[in-house]
Amino acid sequence: MILVRFRAPSRNRKIVTLTRFAAAGLALSLLCGGSALAQVQGKNEVSIHQTKPVDLTPVDSQANLVEELIVNARLPGPAWWKVSDGDTNVYVMGVPAFAPQKLDFDDSVLRRRLDGANVLIIGQEPEVRILSLLALIPGRGKQFIMDKPMRDTLPPELRARLEKHLTARSKPVSEHDQLKPALAGFIIANDKGGGVSITIGDLTDRIQKLAKSKDIAVQPRVKKLDDYDLIGMVKSLGEAPQPLQELCLDAGLKETENGLAGVRETADQWAEGQVKAVVAAERGYQRCLASTPWIARQFKDGQDEAVGAITQALKKPGKAVAVIELRSLLTEGGVLDRLRAKGFTVTAPE
C-alpha cells in the first residue's frame, strides 16, 4: 500500500490521506482500461467544457459494447476470444485490471494455450513511479485544492449524498472540503475499508510466471506493452471543468455504494467465464474516467499498441496468447472490433 498525503493551504493545514493508492491505480486500470475512446477531440471536448450537466451520450463511448462478442464461456475458467487469419490463432483472455488478492480460477485452458505459443502479449497496465508520486506532495498538488469549501459548489442532491456518505463513516462532513470534487470522488471510490485487498497487475504477474515456469514445456516469448501514466491521469482530473468534477464525485459515491461485495462478486464471475454479468456490473468511477479526454488518449495509445501486437503475432504461423483488459476488448471500436475490421476472424468464447 502506498500512502500519499496532501497538505491543503488553509488555516488548519488539514492533511488528506489517499489510502490504498495502489488499489486506486488498479481501479483506474479497470475503469478505463484501453477502451474504445476514438473520438477524444471535437464534440467530446466541447461537451465537457461547458457549464451545464455533462451529456454522457456523446462522451462515454465505453458504454457501447459489441453485443455479439458478449458470450459466456463454456470451457472451464475465464472467457477466451480467438483471432485467426488461417494459419495462426491468437487466443485472447479478457482480464479485469483490478481484483481481490488470491483470486482463484481454473487455469487449465490457460496452461494448454501457453504451451507452445509463439508469444504472450501482456496489455497496457498502470505505471506507478515514485518520482511522479512526489508531484502530489504538499505544495505541488495545487490543482486539487479548492479556494472555497467544495460542498458549497455542489448541487443540493450531490452535497446531501456526500454528507450522508461521510456521516455513515463517522467522518466530519467537511472531510473533503478543501479538495476538488473529482479527487474527492477518487478517494471515496477507493477508500473502501473492509478485508478485501485489491491488487495492481496481480493476475498478469501470475500469468507471466506461469508462462516461464517448468509447467510449460514450450515457453512463449513475453511481449509487455507500454504502461500508462497513472499519476498523469490523476492530475488530469484536477484540471477537469466543474460539470466533469461533479460527475466524478457522483461516480465515486456510486463506486463505494456498490461496496466491496461487488468487487469480489464480479471477480468470481470473471473466473467462471460469466462475461455478461461482468460487463453489466456497476461501472462506478469508470464513467468519470471514460469522459476525460486526456485519459482517453492514454488508453487509445494502449489500444492501438494491442491491435498492432496481435496483428504482428498473426504473421507467424502457429498460436499466440494475449491478455488484455476485458472491457477494452468488447467496446465498439475496441481491440476485437478493430481486428475484425482488419479482416481477421474473431470468434466469441467457446
How buried is 326 (Cβ within 10 angstroms: 0-12 exposed, 13-18 middle, 19+ buried)? buried
DSSP strand pairing (221-224 vs 119-122)? parallel
Torsion of CA 281, 286, 288, 289, to 10 degrees: -170
As a whole number of Å, the end-to-end CA separation of the chain is 38
Q: Which amino acid is at 52?
A: K
What is the structure's pLDDT at 211? 96
Residue 29: the pLDDT is 35
Supply angle C-alpha 238, 44, 60, rounded to 5: 80
pTM listed for this prediction: 0.74
- Using alpha carbons, select from 279, 304, 299 the residue that is nearest to residue 289: 299
pLDDT reported for residue 62: 61
Could you read off the pLDDT tens digit of each residue along the chain, which spans 350 residues? 233 333 333 333 333 333 333 333 333 333 333 332 223 333 334 333 334 444 444 455 566 788 889 999 999 999 999 999 989 999 999 988 667 777 889 999 999 999 999 999 999 876 655 444 445 544 455 667 888 999 999 999 999 999 999 999 999 999 999 989 988 887 887 665 544 455 556 788 899 999 999 999 999 999 998 877 767 777 777 788 888 899 889 988 987 877 655 667 888 999 999 999 988 877 767 777 777 777 777 778 888 999 999 999 999 999 999 999 888 899 888 999 999 999 999 999 97
